[in-house]
Structure 1
Amino acid sequence: MPWFVWLFAAAALGAAEFLTLTLVFGLLAGAALVAAVVAGMGVGLFGQLVALGAAAAAGLLVVRPIALRQMAQGPLTREGSDALIGKRAEVVQEVTATRGLVKLSGEEWSARALDESLVIPVGALVDVMEIEGATAIVHPRELLP
């Protein structure tokens, strides 16, 4: 029952992947499963090794680089307060380095100026540069480079 040996190897490699999270052992576990299927169909040891090698090579040379590239990318959509960064707001109450109020996405937010020397008047349009807690850090639109 060589297929059972391949299944045992796949389980051991899967456990190793669970502990390391490298995507290497998991792909090798998948290759061992392919070898188990080939062994279950009655193919000899040489055919099993060829199937193992082909599946491992495909996984490590094709699948792993694609998976790593996808994991390295940030999320496509920002949620919560992160989604407000870069949005335009209107000053409702004069914004200084310490206090102010802006209308942002239909809501009023406390705000302060990114540049501590600026005083932004009521009615000015500003860009949200970052969010700190419940405070929007803003900068006037006309002063942006």
Structure 2
Amino acid sequence: MEAILQGVEQWAWIGWLVLIALFLVIEMLTLDFTFLMLALGSTIGLVADLTGLPLWAQVIIAAIAAVAFILVLRPPLLKRLHRGEDPTKSNVDALIGLNGVVLLEVTTLTGQVKLSNGDTWTARVDSAAPVVTSLAPGAPVSVTRIEGATAYVRSVHD
């Protein structure tokens, strides 16, 4: 049993290299900097192995380093990455709060609205709207949420 443990400790550097490569590949797929921090922690574990520390110490040092990198280095990197993003809402997020007009009577089960951006949507009265159960054609509405292909609306006058 002791021979197996010595073999594992002797070849631990290969395990560290495999972990580093695995974390870097996952990081390339996720682009979240979490696995990059784990790869850096594994690099510290590799350095600890090359200095001759026992395997248990290598794992502890690598874990502490990875946690420190995640807590200290990752937040400013994420902030720098997202610095130049366009803050304009898009897709479904851009529809929330958009005004429109009822085309076909909107109830809690069915209806149709034309939004101010020109889109026509299947619509329902939002259950959170105050006691309104239907909206007549021509009534001005505002989108409160989108679920699938249905816009939930409320009267602008509420």
Q: TM-score range by the shorter chain?
A: 0.5 to 0.7
Q: Mind listing any 5+ residue stretches in structure 2 that lack a counterpart?
A: 1-8, 27-32, 79-86
Post-superposition offset of 1:107 = 1.4
SS in 2 for 1:8: helix
2:18 aligns with one of 11, 20, 34: 11
Aligned twin of 2:124:
112
CA distance change for structure 1 residues 32 and 92 in 2, over 3 Å: closer, same or farther? closer
What is the correspondence of 1:52-71 to structure 2 with a 5 Å cutoff?
53=61, 56-64=63-71, 66=74
SS, match of residue 133 in structure 2: coil
* 1:103 partner letter: K
Superposition TM-score, scaled by structure 1 size: 0.52
Show CA shifts across 1:49-94 (max 9, x none): 79x83x6534212415757xx7xxxxx8866445423322222333
1:33 paired with 2:43, answer yes
| Runs (5+) with no aligned partner, structure 1 | 71-75
The Cα shift of 1:120 comes to 1.9
Q: CA RMSD in A?
A: 4.5
Instruction: Please identify, of 102-111 and 90-99, the stretch whose mean Cα deviation from structure 2 is larger.
Output: 90-99
- Out of 75, 100, 105, the position equivalent to 1:89 is 100
| Equivalent position SS for 2:157 | helix
Per the alignment, residue 139 of structure 1 pairs with 154
- Alignment match, 2:30: none
How many pairs align?
123
Deviation at 1:31, TM superposition (A): 3.0
With normalisation by structure 2, the TM-score equals: 0.49
SS state of the match for residue 45, structure 1?
coil
Identify the residue that residue 112 of structure 2 maps to in structure 1.
101
Q: Take 2:10 and 2:42, find their aligned partners in 1: how far apart are those partners?
A: 9
| SS of corresponding position for 2:134 | coil
